[in-house]
Chain A
Amino acid sequence: MFALSRRSDTRTAPARGIELPPSYLRSSLSIRGVLEAECELTIGGKVVGRIAALTLIIAPGGHVEGDIIARDVVIGGYLKGRVFAPTVTVEETAHVDGRIFHHTISVARGAHFDGRMPWRPVSYFETLDQLPETQP
């Protein structure tokens, strides 16, 4: 379900990104459930649940509670939960409460971050088929 089959993704990602139109969830939209996107997903509203996406952007004002698996994650809003992504960007408007498993991360000055940022090798994300159990 959460397998991101990165071998094929990393090769065909730009082409697929162009092919598949992005999704945009506006601030008025709230979702409770599981989101699986093979495209760029922008969340401006509220989402409670698991998210799997190619690229996930939590826009400023966006509110996410749950675990995230993606290739690229940009956090500009509120996030409570775990992130599993090779590339993570935490913007200055972000409020993060949780753990970010990453290979490359940038955290902007001004960002509110409460939690840990464990580094993992790229192979960790390639073999990430489902949400792993992590120690609290």
Chain B
Amino acid sequence: MTIFNRNDKPADATAKPPANDIVQPQKPAERPQATAQPLSPPAKTGASMPSVISKALKITGQLESTEDIQIDGEIDGDVRGVGVKIGNNAKVKGTVYGDEVELAGTIDGKIEAKKVILNGTARMSGDVVHQDIKIESGAFIDGHLKPEFGKTASKPASVSTLKPVTSVAPAPEKSIEARH
């Protein structure tokens, strides 16, 4: 009996604990890997994929992107992007800068963009500075439409953050003027 017991115990001891050790680390490790793996491929391939701010995300602060942004959540602050799409139930409180801004949700603030699209569900409280605008039936606008994008002095400031090249050009001029 003692021999069997001795044989059984080491056998169990060698078989089970390693199995547990292997299984336990794998289970917690699989979850992050499973979540991380689908994320890395779009990061490599998807240069055209926009950043997504889903409806469950609320941001208080400033956003800046050199690519497209899809906003379905709530933002309290300024947004700077190239293509900015603001979804149906999204809310933005602040100024939205971009090359192309498509609004289907709510903005309480300002839009400064080359091309502006206000969908039927859009609710815009504030001024729209644009070069090219499309307004669908049903859109609510409480503010001024100003076709002045790129004309006034304040515009290059907003563009300069998107395209550093333009900011480089006026900067030396100012410094030269200041020197003279």
Contact surface of A with B, Cβ cutoff 8 Å: 20-42, 44-45, 49, 55, 57, 59-61, 72, 74, 76, 87, 89, 91, 104, 106
Please tell me if B154 contacts chain A, counting CB pairs below 8 Å: no
Please tell me if B54 contacts chain A, counting CB pairs below 8 Å: yes
B43 and A34 form a contact (CB under 8 A):
no
Q: Please give the distance in Å from B20's CB to the nearest CB on chain A.
A: 16
| B residues near A55, Cβ cutoff 8 Å | 35
Which single member of A20, A25, A60, A104 contacts B56 (CB below 8 Å)? A20
Q: Which of B2-10, B11-19, B63-71, B145-153 contacts the other chain?
A: B63-71
User: Which B110-146 residues sit within 8 Å CB-CB of chain A?
Assistant: none
| B residues near A104, Cβ cutoff 8 Å | 28
Q: When chains A and B are docked, how far (Å) is the Cα of A22 from the Cα of B73?
A: 11
Chain B, residue nearest A53 (CB): B57
Q: When chains A and B are docked, how far (Å) is the Cα of A37 from the Cα of B90?
A: 14
Q: A21-B72, A35-B57, A76-B36 are in contact. List 19 more A-B contacts (CB 8 A).
A: A21-B55, A23-B73, A26-B46, A26-B65, A29-B63, A29-B64, A31-B59, A31-B63, A32-B61, A33-B60, A33-B77, A38-B56, A40-B35, A45-B65, A57-B32, A60-B43, A74-B35, A87-B28, A89-B29
A26 and B39 form a contact (CB under 8 A):
no
A61 and B43 form a contact (CB under 8 A):
yes
A34 and B61 form a contact (CB under 8 A):
yes
User: Which B38-62 residues sit within 8 Å CB-CB of chain A?
Assistant: 39-40, 42-43, 46, 49-62
Interface residues of B: mostly helix, strand, loop or mixed? mixed
B58 and A26 form a contact (CB under 8 A):
no
What are 6 of the A-B contact pairs (CB < 8 Å)? A28-B66, A36-B57, A41-B57, A45-B65, A72-B32, A104-B28
> A-facing mask of B63-99, CB < 8 A → 1, else 0?
1111101001100010001000000000000000000
| A residues near B66, Cβ cutoff 8 Å | 28
Q: When chains A and B are docked, how far (Å) is the Cα of A38 from the Cα of B73?
A: 11
Q: When chains A and B are docked, how far (Å) is the Cα of A121 from the Cα of B27?
A: 21
| B residues near A61, Cβ cutoff 8 Å | 43
| A residues near B67, Cβ cutoff 8 Å | 26, 28-29
Q: Please give the distance in Å from A56's CB to the nearest CB on chain B.
A: 11
B35 and A39 form a contact (CB under 8 A):
no
Q: When chains A and B are docked, how far (Å) is the Cα of A23 from the Cα of B42?
A: 13
